[in-house]
């Protein structure tokens, strides 16, 4: 049972779903249903939901304003029929990301990756860093999930249940992730990611993922990473 990482979709053109759903469902469960007072209340209160994708319609902005009032931190992506600059600026002022149809799957993937990470570590700088790394290192959807779970301090047993895999499969997937990132273990990967997220804006994040020595992926059976210190650093950084 997935406790977090769900996505809600309000898409008026059903022909978009065959393209949209496979991308979203690589990262977590997706539910398709029009926005309503009940849905807005659920999205605001249910911690399972990582993000909302909505095709903008006549009443969408009203629902988004109500949702923002109740859950200002929930990531939202609005799909637009036209790239009208005024609409885009208006959405941006509301804290809503936008994408102009036809669908560009790279934009959807980027949003879903950021939203998933944000549901475990609610920090935009961390989400952006992981999205950057996912592109630079060609990470799969599963590998992005593993990074998010690691940063969220998720126990291995829970990760296995969520993904429906065995311990040996999990070990194999972690090895692949560590090889791509040039890290020795999940501790090192998490610390480098979070260090990169905390550096001054404008730094070249990709340079911070260059391994200082050849990777050794033997240390993958340790317990889930404790990020108490990291959370304190993020909290301190967020007030500046």
Query: What's the average model confidence in pLDDT over 7-27?
Result: 96
* CATH class name, domain 6-118: alpha beta
Residue 202 Rama label (left phi>0; alpha psi -120 to 50; beta): left
What's the mean pLDDT in 30-47?
A: 95
pLDDT at 50: 95
* Closest C-alpha among 34, 25, 33 to residue 6: 25
Show the tokens assigned to 151: 């940063």
pLDDT of residue 99: 95
Residues 6+ away with beta carbon under 8 Å from 203: 196
Element (H, E) at 78: strand 76-80
**Pairing of β 6-10 and β 30-32:** parallel
Residues carrying CATH 3.40.50.2300, the chain: 6-118
Angle at 148 between CA 145 and CA 149, to 5 degrees: 85
Global confidence as pTM? 0.79
Report the pLDDT averaged over residues 198-220. 46
**For the chain, how many residues are written?**
240
Q: Is a pLDDT exceeding 60 seen at residue 61?
A: yes
Cis peptide before 102 (omega within 30 of 0): yes
């Amino acid at each position: 049972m997935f406790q977090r990482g769900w996505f809600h979709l309000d898409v008026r053109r059903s022909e978009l779903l065959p393209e949209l759903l496979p991308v979203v469902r690589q990262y977590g469960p997706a539910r398709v249903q029009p926005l309503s007072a009940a849905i807005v209340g659920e999205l605001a209160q249910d911690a399972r939901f990582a993000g909302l994708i909505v095709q903008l319609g006549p009443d969408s902005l009203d629902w988004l304003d109500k949702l923002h009032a109740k859950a200002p931190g929930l990531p939202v992506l609005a799909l637009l029929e036209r790239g009208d600059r005024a609409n885009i600026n208006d959405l941006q002022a509301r804290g809503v990301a936008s994408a102009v149809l036809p669908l560009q799957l790279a934009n959807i993937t980027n949003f879903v990756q950021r939203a998933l990470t944000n549901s475990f570590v609610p920090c935009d700088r961390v989400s952006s860093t992981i999205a950057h790394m996912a592109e630079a290192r060609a990470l799969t959807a599963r590998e992005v999930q593993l990074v998010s779970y690691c940063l969220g301090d998720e126990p291995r047993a829970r990760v296995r249940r969520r993904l429906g895999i065995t311990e040996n499969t999990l070990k194999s997937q972690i090895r692949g992730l560590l090889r791509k990132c040039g890290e020795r273990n999940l501790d090192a990967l998490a610390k480098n990611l979070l260090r990169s997220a905390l550096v001054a804006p404008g730094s070249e994040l990709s340079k911070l993922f260059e391994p200082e020595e050849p990777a050794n992926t033997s240390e993958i059976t340790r317990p889930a990473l404790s990020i108490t210190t990291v959370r304190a650093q993020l909290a301190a950084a967020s007030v500046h």
